[in-house]
Amino acid sequence: MSAEPSTAKAPAAETALATAALGSGQMFDRIASRYDLLNRVLSLGIDRSWRKRTVRALALAHKPGRVLDVATGTADLALQIAATHPACTVVGVDPSANMLELGKRKVAQRKLASRIELALGDAQALAFADDSFDAATIAFGIRNVPDRLLGLREMARVVRPGGKVCVLELGEPRRGLLARAARFHTHRVVPWIGGLLSGHREYEYLQRSIAAFPDAKTFASMMEQAGLVVEQVRPMMFGVCTLFVARRPERIDAASGPAKLEGAS
């Protein structure tokens, strides 16, 4: 009996990796082992405070609840939700098995496995019943979803009427001197450090996808088109990152009202 070395990869698997669509779960499988480090370095650690703000915006109070974290990756937001709300359970879904594997280790280390469940899943086809969560989040993930409107509609569908849907996403600041500095960071520093630390050119994708993401007003309109009522659009760090806070109305087709665009903080 002959055995292949365990490190050998089938040619078909190699081809699949080489052609992995940018932003897909397969692409994140490739960079998973460096993802957390890169996140901290590239955002200078500020990504943590952005996630904390997202959790606060869920306004879950201190009663039992069930929260869905879409594109959960290595589970940083799922962990933050569970740590902040001891009465809540969290389900995190993501198409990248490698990102989830790292997430599961972090969940186990923090002894939160009884309250956080992580599973493979695509934002565009959530495997959950209507109205089955009290709130849903997606952090730095909607940019990667090929059909964003469908992803948002799915989040609106699985959240109960009145429940929050929060989206945290990077964008490109468009005006002012500091915006220019932020653009330099995204266009030059991010791909350079990303390439240096990860050894993968995928981080160039990060810069391109951020630049291509719609402005806050346009994205808020898309959330409303998905049947949500946008309550707050909150730019952070001169618009480098934006938190969109929305609510599912009592009737899913009854969304209305302009989003409140706050000043940068």
Tell me the two tokens of residue 134.
């009290």
Q: Map the footprint of ligand SAM across residues 97-126, applying CB under 6 A.
A: 99, 122-124
Closest alpha carbon to 68 in 108, 121, 105: 121
Q: Map the footprint of ligand SAM across residues 124-143, applying CB under 6 A.
A: 124, 139-141
Closest alpha carbon to 79 in 70, 71, 90: 90
Instruction: Please tell me the distance from the alpha carbon of residue 115 to that of residue 17, in angstroms, as a whole number.
Output: 33
194 binds ligand SAM (CB under 6 A): no
Rank residues 67 and 229 by Cβ distance to ligand SAM and give the closer one.
67
Instruction: Please tell me the distance from the alpha carbon of residue 97 to that of residue 202, in angstroms, as a whole number.
Output: 18
Output the smallest distance, CB 94 to ligand SAM, in A: 5
Name residue, tokens 């082992």: 33
Rank residues 203 and 238 by Cβ distance to ligand SAM and give the closer one.
203
Instruction: Please tell me the distance from the alpha carbon of residue 247 to that of residue 202, in angstroms, as a whole number.
Output: 34
Q: Which of 31, 57, 67, 77 binds ligand SAM (CB under 6 A)?
A: 77
Q: Which of 57, 58, 67, 73 binds ligand SAM (CB under 6 A)?
A: 73
Rank residues 31 and 220 by Cβ distance to ligand SAM and give the closer one.
31
Residue 155 one-letter amino acid? M
Tell me the two tokens of residue 168.
């945290």
Q: Where along the sequence are the contacts to ligand SAM (CB under 6 A)?
A: 23-25, 28, 39, 70-73, 76-77, 94-96, 99, 122-124, 139-141, 144-145
